């Protein structure tokens, strides 16, 4: 569903120690990074100042840090001779370092070079490592795309592309972690809604997109799916995909839900034309609040229908990880998708 933004060609291994690849003067930098990294993860969220001061000092620090996190490759195998390549400093790349192999095979010396970014979140970009890390950090804390573009003096296209890449990481993560919600004794509120329906000035009309979702009453477990329409035929398969049988499902009186009991669920309804809470105290406030927040978080213009699934994924990703440090969560999720040791 999502597009992977890079091609993957060079083989990598995790083998040699990161320290060996750098000069002695960088060792202190490394210890500092590891200590503060561990401390940051245990305690409060990483602030922007801490990011800049602790990790973005210079290319060497950044690369060592990214290698420790295994976000970029710790070692790379030469595609010509299968030996480990050497990390060398250089002036012809913004990273200041590159992988190189100059070994001789059968008396003939070859020269193979490779980017330290190959296969990683940083691959195929003209931005510096610092710029991408700042972009990622600001995106995670919810800075507006136009503000990030202006801070980093990026072209609008680059900014749009990278926010899309960020949302794709959310989509891939959410899709991979698909887990049914509810179960015996659990209650799930479900509802369908249309998002993005809007009439702009000069009569330009945007059709909008139906969404269907559910949320567990006593947790942050939830799902959101785009649907073509809200017919029973469209909704029931999604209920079965996402909600365990035996679950108590609360919905409004939409006719698409009338057969839920036949599929193994306990179904309770709230008639919204008459009441917000039924006689048993059931309501759908939580899922309706979810829609309100989702709609408030959708950009007001420039979005296309096929991008909706990534917006929904971003919304869910932020919702599920509300208490966590989103920057660390994101780096870890991006690593699963752009894993340099898998290429
Ligand atoms: Zn080689």
Which residues form the domain of 74? 46-118
* E strand segments, the chain: 12-13, 75-76, 86-89, 97-101, 104-105, 108-109, 112-114, 187-195, 198-199, 205-206, 209-216, 222-227, 248-251, 266-269
- Pick out the chain residues at pLDDT < 70: 1-43, 197-206, 300-306, 342-343
- Pair 278, 185 in one domain: yes
User: Nearest-CA neighbor of 5 among 112, 146, 127?
Assistant: 127
| pLDDT at residue 194, rounded to an integer | 87
List CB contacts of 262: < 8 A, sequence separation 6 or more: none
CA dist 171 and 85 (Å) reads 34
Distance 97 CA to ligand 1 centre (A): 17
Structure tokens at 197: 């329906």
Number of domains in the chain: 2
Asked if the structure places residue 37 within a domain, the reply is no
Distance 26 CA to ligand 1 centre (A): 26
Length of the chain as a residue count: 343
Which of 118, 147, 167 marks a domain boundary?
A: 118
Digit-coded pLDDT (tens) for 103-117: 999 999 999 999 999
**DSSP H helical segments within 153-284, as ranges?**
156-176, 232-242
Distance 13 CA to ligand 1 centre (A): 14
- Cβ-based neighbour number of residue 158 at 10 Å: 17
**Which residues keep their CB under 5 angstroms from ion ligand 1?**
78, 80-81, 101, 103
- Pair 86, 188 in one domain: no
| pLDDT at residue 282, rounded to an integer | 86
| pLDDT at residue 14, rounded to an integer | 37
CATH number at 285 reads: 3.30.420.10
Looking at the chain, the number of H-run helices and the number of E-run strands are: 10, 14
Distance 268 CA to ligand 1 centre (A): 67
Hey, which residues does 240 pair with through a beta bridge? none
Collapse the DSSP code of 185 into the 3-class scheme (helix H, G, I; strand E, B; otherwise coil) and give the result: coil
């Amino acid at each position: 569903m999502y597009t992977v933004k890079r091609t993957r060609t060079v083989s990598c291994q995790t083998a040699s120690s990161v320290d060996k690849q750098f000069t002695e003067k960088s060792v202190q930098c490394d210890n500092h990074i590891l200590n503060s990294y561990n401390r940051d993860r245990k305690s409060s969220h990483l602030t922007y100042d801490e990011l800049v001061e602790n990790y973005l000092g210079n290319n060497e620090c950044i690369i060592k840090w990214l290698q420790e996190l295994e976000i970029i490759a710790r070692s790379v195998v030469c595609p010509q001779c299968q030996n480990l390549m050497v990390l060398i400093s250089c002036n012809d790349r913004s990273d200041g370092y590159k992988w190189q192999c100059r070994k001789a095979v059968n008396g003939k010396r070859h020269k193979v070079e490779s980017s330290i970014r190959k296969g990683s979140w940083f691959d195929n970009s003209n931005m510096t490592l610092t710029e991408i890390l700042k972009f990622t950090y600001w995106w995670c804390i919810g800075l507006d795309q136009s503000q990030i573009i202006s801070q980093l003096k990026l072209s609008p296209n680059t900014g749009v592309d990278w926010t899309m890449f960020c949302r794709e990481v959310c989509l891939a993560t959410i899709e991979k972690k698909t887990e049914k919600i509810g179960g015996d004794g659990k209650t799930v509120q479900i509802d369908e809604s249309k998002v993005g329906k809007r009439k702009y000035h000069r009569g330009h009309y945007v059709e909008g997109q139906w969404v269907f979702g559910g949320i567990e009453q006593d947790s942050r477990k939830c799902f959101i799916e785009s649907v073509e329409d809200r017919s029973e035929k469209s909704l029931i398969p999604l209920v079965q995909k996402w909600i365990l049988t035996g679950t108590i499902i609360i919905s409004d009186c939409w006719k698409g839900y009338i057969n839920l009991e036949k599929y193994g669920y306990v179904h309770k309804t709230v008639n919204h034309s008459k009441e917000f809470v039924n006689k048993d105290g059931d309501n759908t406030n939580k899922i309706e609040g979810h829609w309100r927040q989702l709609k408030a978080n959708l950009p007001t213009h420039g979005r296309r229908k096929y991008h909706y699934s990534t917006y929904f994924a971003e919304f869910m990703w932020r919702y599920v990880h509300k208490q966590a440090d989103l920057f660390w969560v994101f780096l870890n999720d991006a690593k699963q998708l752009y894993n340099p040791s898998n290429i």
